[in-house]
Amino acid sequence: MKPVKIGVLGLGTVGGGTVNVLKRNAKEISRRAGREIVVTCASARDLTRKRSCDTQDIRLSTDPYEIINDSEIDIVLELIGGTSLAKELVLQAIANGKHVVTANKALIALHGNEIFSAASKANVIVAYEAAVAGGIPIIKAIREGLSGNHINWLAGIINGTGNFILTEMRDKGRDFNDVLKEAQALGYAESDPTFDVEGIDAGHKLMILASIAFGIPLQFENVYTEGITKITRADVEYANELGYRIKHLGIARKTKAGIELRVHPTLIPERRLLANVDGVMNAVLVNADAVGPTLYYGAGAGAEATASAVIADVVDVARALTLNSINKVPHLAFQEDSIADLHILTHEQIETAYYLRLTVEDKPGTLAQITQILAQQNISIEAILQKEPLPDQTLVQIIMLTQKTIEKEMDDAISTIKNLSSVTGQVTRIRLETLG
């Protein structure tokens, strides 16, 4: 049988890793795919740049259109990133009858509805396993492995860079910017790293997961995103003292009122497996009605871990080509005419518990005022920690854990607390999930 011919757009971290693994594991991969898989051409911006992979037998070009218009190419790998050129290239490749494998979560989260619709009409596959949680086969697990279940919620550490930064800050007391630079050098970070640290990248991934878990259209604009830039070492230490870890979580939950889609730093009990997912590792906990909780763990970023997911998609496409049965699995898990536009909750409507840190004057009555404001908003306190004032200082830190409440009630309570004359500066609020 003829080999399956691949054209690779982008030879950076993921493109280079993919070419390397395809070459190193060629025999094993073709045993699985039923066909030989050959990279025949690839594009990058600067052909003089030293590459991490051997490009000797690959035709190189600076023009990605040369690849998508090449009639010999069966599968195009979009590994450029971004949403402008990548979208044009993917839609053109589909129009040209090519199957597409992409690692681009921004592209899928923002333009996936349009891309999948075009792919279905053209009867080609667009596969995107590498777009979420790097090397973890989470798309396949949810879309296929859990298809007998009603999925209740999922929660995951889905940005490797952010988790790497939080872990290094906690374990080694390292500086935020210093660790971010290392994550960039290791190829973990997005080309614009604010996507990693401000929660946008995790938001893209959460949207994709929620879509395939609940059968809803992709709608990134409805995801609440908050990053890790405001987390201080003090918060990390106080959380530890209370038996919690701060992790940057993406949470999608189906409630009677609607669907919660949110990404933010979260306190989780240290005994939970998710609390112990460190460094660049990612993990996604899925709670489904029949199987109960299942946890998926692995490297969330990096050249070969991501290549593993890209190549799994390539093998799926190669098998489909060989069996001549296209799109057996719907792109967003549910049949296209069964995608339901369920109500998405605003962040003010979500229900969660909280960690609060306040800087207050050390005088009688202050704590009573604060607890009264919380009580007025029906917010129950779970634990309180008051730190000794530093020598010669009258200000103390108060840390509180609350029970679950609706976020609007907490927003209102915080605005009132901030106006108290005994409270100084900002009130730090981090959401807390027990994930039970």
Q: Which does 85 bind (CB under 5 to 8 A by kind): ligand NDP, ligand HSE, none?
A: ligand NDP
Whether residue 72 contacts residue 40, with contact meaning beta carbons closer than 8 Å, is answered with yes
How far are the Cα atoms of 357, 365, 373 from residue 360, in angstroms, in the given order?
Answer: 10, 11, 15
Among 39, 189, 284, 312, binds ligand HSE (CB under 6 A): 189
Residue nearest to ligand HSE (CB): 161
Backbone Cα Rg of the chain: 24
CB of 360 to ligand NDP, least distance (A): 43
Catalytic-role residue among 87, 140, 205, 254: 205
Whether residue 385 contacts residue 241, with contact meaning beta carbons closer than 8 Å, is answered with yes
Report d(CA 262, CA 202) in Å as an integer: 9
Residue at 350: amino acid letter? I
Whether residue 228 contacts residue 314, with contact meaning beta carbons closer than 8 Å, is answered with no
CB of 14 to ligand HSE, least distance (A): 9
Q: Which stretch binds ligand HSE (CB under 6 A): 159-167, 228-236, 371-379, 392-400?
A: 159-167
The answer to the question of residue 201 lying near ligand HSE (CB under 6 A) is yes
> Between 35 and 205, whose beta carbon lies closer to ligand NDP?
205
Report d(CA 59, CA 47) in Å as an integer: 11
Task: Say if strands 259-269 and 423-432 run parallel, antiparallel, or are unpaired.
Answer: parallel
CB of 301 to ligand HSE, least distance (A): 4
Report d(CA 397, CA 400) in Å as an integer: 10
Q: Which does 196 bind (CB under 5 to 8 A by kind): ligand NDP, ligand HSE, none?
A: ligand HSE
The answer to the question of residue 198 lying near ligand HSE (CB under 6 A) is no
The DSSP call for residue 117 is H
> Between 98 and 140, whose beta carbon lies closer to ligand HSE?
140
Residue for token digits 């010669």? 392
User: Minimal CA–CA distance to 248: which of 234, 263, 258, 269?
Assistant: 263
Residue for token digits 């290549």? 307
Among 12, 81, 160, 265, binds ligand HSE (CB under 6 A): 160
CB of 59 to ligand NDP, least distance (A): 15
CB of 43 to ligand NDP, least distance (A): 6
User: Minimal CA–CA distance to 105: which of 221, 228, 7, 220?
Assistant: 220
> Between 13 and 352, whose beta carbon lies closer to ligand NDP?
13
The answer to the question of residue 7 lying near ligand HSE (CB under 6 A) is no
Q: Which does 14 bind (CB under 5 to 8 A by kind): ligand NDP, ligand HSE, none?
A: ligand NDP
Token pair, residue 100, equals 């597409």
Does 205 qualify as catalytic in the annotation? Answer: yes
Among 74, 129, 168, 190, binds ligand HSE (CB under 6 A): 190
Q: Which of helix, strand or coil describes residue 270?
A: coil
Q: Which does 29 bind (CB under 5 to 8 A by kind): ligand NDP, ligand HSE, none?
A: none
Among 118, 142, 301, 396, binds ligand HSE (CB under 6 A): 301
> Between 164 and 334, whose beta carbon lies closer to ligand HSE?
164
Q: Which does 298 bind (CB under 5 to 8 A by kind): ligand NDP, ligand HSE, none?
A: none
The answer to the question of residue 138 lying near ligand HSE (CB under 6 A) is no
Report d(CA 121, CA 397) in Å as an integer: 59
Which H or E run contains 397? Answer: strand 395-402
Q: Which does 43 bind (CB under 5 to 8 A by kind): ligand HSE, ligand NDP, none?
A: ligand NDP
- How far from chain centre, in Å, is Cα 83? 17
Number of Cβ atoms within 10 Å of the Cβ of 63: 9
Chain residues that interact with ligand NDP, rule: CB under 6 A: 10-15, 43-46, 49, 64, 79-81, 85, 103-104, 130, 134, 187-188, 190-191, 301-302, 306
Among 55, 161, 222, 402, binds ligand HSE (CB under 6 A): 161
The answer to the question of residue 122 lying near ligand HSE (CB under 6 A) is no
Report d(CA 366, CA 155) in Å as an integer: 36
Residue nearest to ligand NDP (CB): 12
Report d(CA 43, CA 215) in Å as an integer: 35
Report d(CA 273, CA 281) in Å as an integer: 12
Residues acting as catalytic residues: 205
Binding site for ligand HSE (CB under 6 A): 134, 159-161, 188-190, 196, 201, 300-301
